[in-house]
Structure 1
């Protein structure tokens, strides 16, 4: 499915609101476009209508008294009413004259010494005429004033109706656009939760953030501004063409040439704009990613004096973004004002040519009202054209942004399962498991061991030996390529990831805290974990001693990543979090490696309580912390090279013995 169709599909979810908005838009356009017709009627029927034929009559409604006689315009006579002698009131230059008879023909007029001369081709006629004074002329206009005021009232009424429905249309379109973007952002964020961890291994967080915020905001502009402008312009252009065809078919047909010209121009524009916008959106993501990385690692940048290099790297990305923004600016400048100016001039040339030619023909009389209406409609025609051209840039940005967003949403993910199973006993078996983050490059090879309910299994080994990879597989952040992992005899790949994790807890080497409070970071706002459970979990891990002096207690604010807390405090909160969820299987990923000796002693006191009734896996950095483990697995380059208790491994004088002695020697030297 194309990007455009997918964007339309999102819009169709709120089609009722959009249809209501388009209905209101149609009413608004019709009301607005009636204006020139009303103006034409006022000019031709009332202001210039005074030049139509008048007849002598008796006094009465719409009758005008002049020289002790009464006259009435032909249009105001009833069918049964008798008409008297015809007369004419004609404009000659700046004067209006009264002619006491009907004209043989109309044409070029001149007035001199009480005589009106009318010429038409080779024909010429003269009539006795009287110049009307200002008050006398106004007397003849009196019957027209009620009609003019009535039409003006209708005109202003239509303007009010147009403004009201235009407001309603814009409100509804923006409301639907905001709902569409709200749903889209929820869908994207929800999809991110379902993506496997390995998707984020090669994608910087800043790029993901850019797609959820910047790209969806560009799409929002599509629904709020671009589509609203296109809908409005399409209805306006349609209405204007209908009006033009009613007024004059030939000129309206000439104006139709605008549409293929506009379409061709749009194709040319989109060809270049799409290319530029892809680079702009991509560099914008790169800039976001770099800024995010720089903020995260600011302490390292400053500590190693890398400010200059970071700035240069940023400037390189920023310059490329600037370069393509300028290309877009040039493209927009060439295709917006210039396009509309060219089209406007073409239409007015056609207009002058057509009406000028018509005026030269004696048989054709073109009314001033007709001229006014045409000029008004042609001017109005270029407002929606200008609107469409000006929104082409936003359209392309939105389509490119939509393409990037949908690419993220097309990444294969797993549906979040609400399935719940009874609590594990905690018997874990790795049955000849092999795994690699990249295909064919195994970081775990033929891992085979069993951890029984309530046992503590420690994993030790040098960096890169595969300790954390085992835990990643157990937690189903990744799935193994060979062998299988079983919990209580059941293959974990047959159980939804969320269902497995519901009975597992993890404490990472670098604990992650969310913005909130200490208490909310323990419960993660899970309604099943009460305040009492939170306090008990913190008490069990010995947090009372560490947090007793905080002003707000466990409601002490925690800012992003808990940067105001010490590593030991963050780790204690992480321990309490794992305990509060009461897991059947507990994973401690080098959880004490970044904790000072005093805090480690506090945690060690709570470890026995924490491990009771649970199968516990400890990835150990300090070997002294796992002396009481039921089983120690020594890993080297992805394989288990030794296994046993602390005493058994020390007695064997193997790799574990060497590592332990090396650490003890380092500790003695440090002491």
Structure 2
């Protein structure tokens, strides 16, 4: 997988890729091009009209011609304003559609990235890319090209008119043009580099903010607001320093170009004034020539600004493309209409990126329609083993088989639809109870929803709520208690009716009475299903067909509860620790 530095491309390559991907707007681009051409020609013709006003109307006291030329000026300005208004609307339309399409691509991408990606990259950095960097797509797809085209047209027209009005002044003025171009190219490259660094620092602020919001209860309970605030200020200072550094480069670029053009104007006014006094040049021509110099300067300044903005925007889009180019979960592979639930691990080893071995030489066989309990101390690798069954990570060695087929050969999308999961901290969307349940079965009726809620002991409670099934559960379900969240997650799995059920500390927040109710439910509702559970409360695993004990990433004991209790000292110690906790 390429790092962000290895993924770096030239700004022109990034822009070309973006335009190719948005070629559906080519007809609108053509319309914008025509509008830009007409408006540029209109505004560029004004100095010539002013020249005629001075030389032919004012100096010759021709009032009728003066009135006609003023009407012409008014008409030019009026048509220009109307065309600019229409052009701005079209640019907004194209830009916002391009942003929406790109945003949707990014959203689909983050849904398809493997779990390992999120282990390596902070959520704040990803959000910063999606919300902070995405807005430049509007500028690049609907404005940059046409604004640049307008300025290039203005420069070409200005140069042509300067040569037409007086070739002597033109040759003198042209000497400094290459210097302006060289300054522009130098600072443009530097600013792109600084912008990439700025975006990286800005991601740190997003991450710090997100962590503080998610962990606000812990921060307040531990009295760590000063510590968190200090970290945030540190990130903020880094961003400010980088912004100031970037601003200095921009100021230097503008100052260098401004100095060139001011010098150009001084020479033009001095030499042109001499020509006027010697009747070698008319006053109107000199004013028109210097107006075109100012337009040339203005266009060069604006074009250089667009060049700098393009470098900044290219840096942002490059960050977006880096995210889009990350390898997604494969949708290819064999699809199974139904799972028997036969799970086999054969000499499986696994470690998280940059860490020591987590699981080593794991071998076991889970037969269909059986219940297997995985036990062990915290950090022994139990939850990691469940993640491997779900295909969240590729194994470093060995093979995992589902119904005799290598997991790597199966379509993960198809597989996961047939696996139901209840975790210790189940996830819920900021939505209603109904919407969170219907995630697994969109067509489920209210009767079906209340039926599964009754089975887990939540039916009566939901009916008593003022809004019933339409009650909001809060962000990540935090308006519910821990036990209610686990019961609601279990009711969702019942509604899903999967072929394999994975329970990761699914009763951690339940009292003994509720736990017994869930155990009866597992025996009745999920009879004939393959159940794999992780539990610290060994009372949940008494009736399991098979118990697998993990210790330091290895299987240290395997068999029924009775067999392990009679033969395994480690299992006995684990069981006695729980018994002593309640005596």
Give the structure-1-normalised TM-score. 0.79
Asked if structure 2 preserves the Cα contact closer than 8 Å seen for 1:195 and 1:412, the reply is: yes
The correspondence of residues 169-568 of structure 1 with structure 2, limited to 5 A, is 169-223=87-141, 226-336=144-254, 338-339=255-256, 341-361=258-278, 364-391=279-306, 393-416=308-331, 420-438=335-353, 441-524=356-439, 527-568=442-483
Structure 1 residues 380 and 439 mapped into 2: Cα distance closer, same or farther (>3 Å)? closer
Deviations 1:319-346 (A, max 9, x none): 122122222233333333x345423322
Q: Give the aligned partner of residue 93 of structure 1.
A: none
How far does residue 531 in structure 1 lie from its aligned partner after superposition? 4.6
1:136 aligned partner: none
- Measure, in 2, the Cα distance between the counterparts of 1:253 and 1:415: 63
| Two-structure CA RMSD over aligned residues (Å) | 2.6
Contact 2:276 2:283 in 1 (8 A): no
Q: TM-score, normalised by structure 2?
A: 0.91
Residue 628 (structure 1) aligned to one of 516, 537, 543: 543
| Correspondence list, 1:135-174, <5 A | 141=62, 145=64, 147-174=65-92
Closer, same or farther: CA 489–597 of 1 in aligned 2, 3 Å: same
Measured after TM superposition, the shift of residue 528 of structure 1 is 4.8
How far is the alpha carbon of 1:294 from its aligned partner?
1.6
Paired with 1:581 and 1:358, the residues of 2 have a C-alpha distance of 90
C-alpha deviation, 1:3, in angstroms = 4.6
Tell me the alpha carbon deviations over residues 177-211 of structure 1, each in whole angstroms, 9 at most, x when there is no partner.
22232222222222222221111112211111111
For 2:248 and 2:440, the matched residues in 1 are separated by 51
The Cα offsets for residues 266-287 of structure 1, whole Å up to 9 and x where unpaired, read as 2332344234323321111011
Pick from 29, 35, 40: which aligns with 2:40? 29
- Secondary structure of 2:346's counterpart equals strand
Give the secondary structure class of the aligned counterpart of 1:432.
strand
Could you give the per-residue CA deviations for residues 60-85 of structure 1, whole angstroms, max 9, x where no partner exists?
xxxxxxxxxxxxxxxxxxxxxxxxxx
The answer to whether structure 1 residue 10 and structure 2 residue 25 are counterparts is no
Sort the Cα spacing of 1:419 and 1:373 in 2 relative to 1 into closer, same or farther, 3 A. farther
Which residue of 2 is the match for residue 43 of structure 1? Answer: 54
Q: Kindly indicate whether the alpha-carbon contact (under 8 Å) linking 1:430 and 1:486 is maintained by their aligned counterparts in 2.
A: yes
- Aligned pairs for 1:92-103 (under 5 A) are none
Distance 1:3 1:369, change over 3 A: closer
Q: 5+ unaligned residues in a row in structure 2: which ranges?
A: 1-8
Cα contact 1:181–1:216 (8 A) shared by 2: yes
Q: Is this contact kept in 2: 1:434–1:481, CA < 8 A?
A: yes
**Counterpart secondary structure, 1:426:** coil
- Quick check: which one's strand share is greater? 1
Cα distance in 1 between the residues matched to 2:243 and 2:426:
41
Q: Report deviation, 1:465.
A: 1.9
Farther-moved stretch of structure 1 (339-348 vs 310-319): 339-348
* Alpha-carbon distance in 1 for matches of 2:95, 2:178: 30
Deviation at 1:37, TM superposition (A): 1.8
2:335–2:410: 8 Å Cα contact kept in structure 1? Answer: no
CA contact (8 A) 1:222 1:394 kept: no
8 A Cα contact 1:540 1:609, kept in partner: no
**CA 1:3/1:565 → structure 2, altered by over 3 Å: closer, same or farther?**
farther
CA 1:180/1:418 → structure 2, altered by over 3 Å: closer, same or farther?
A: farther
Deviation at 1:436, TM superposition (A): 1.9
CA deviation vs aligned residue, 1:342-401 (integer Å, no higher than 9, x gap): 23322222212332342354xx44223323322332333333233234445533332222
Provide the residue aligned with 2:515 in structure 1.
600
The structure with the largest helix share of the pair is 2
Alignment partner of 2:564 out of 649, 657, 662: 649
Whether the 8 Å CA contact 2:14–2:318 is kept in 1: the answer is: no
CA contact (8 A) 1:18 1:172 kept: no
**Could you tell me how far apart the structure 2 residues matched to 1:324 and 1:548 are?**
56
8 Å CA contact retained: 2:133, 2:317:
yes
Aligned mates of 1:394, 1:600 — CA distance in 2: 61
Q: Deviations over 1:606-648 (max 9, x none)?
A: 3223422311101111110121111111121222222222223
- Compared with structure 1, are the counterparts of its residues 295 and 608 closer, same or farther at alpha carbon in structure 2 (3 Å cutoff)? same
Q: Mapping of 1:53-132 within 5 angstroms?
A: none
The structural deviation recorded for 1:566 is 0.6
Q: Aligned-pair distance for 1:252?
A: 3.1
Distance in 1, Cα, partners of 2:246 & 2:11: 21
Offset, 1:588? 0.4
Cα shift at 1:595: 2.7
3-state secondary structure, aligned to 2:29: helix
Structure with bigger gyration radius: 1
- CA gap 1:631/1:270 in 2 versus in 1, 3 angstroms: same
Q: Which runs of 5+ in 1 are unaligned?
A: 51-140
Does the 8 A contact of 2:51 with 2:287 survive in 1? Answer: yes
- For residues 409-467 of structure 1, the C-alpha deviation after alignment (integer angstroms, 9 at most, x for no partner) is 23222354698531112122222222222479432222222222211111111112221
Change (3 A) 1:439 1:347: closer
3-state DSSP of counterpart to 1:558: coil
Distance in 2, matches of 1:157 and 1:591, equals 76
The residue aligned with 1:572 is 487
- Secondary structure of 2:357's match? coil
**Structure 1 Cα separation of the partners of residues 354 and 284 of structure 2:** 79
Q: Which has the higher contact order (CA 8 A, sep 6+)?
A: 2
Give SS of 1:516's match. coil
CA offset at residue 530 of structure 1? 4.8
Query: CA shift at 1:503, angstroms?
Result: 0.8
Structure-2 change in CA distance of 1:257 and 1:9 (3 Å): farther
Q: 2:531 aligns with which of 597, 616, 619?
A: 616
Match of 1:664 in 2: 579
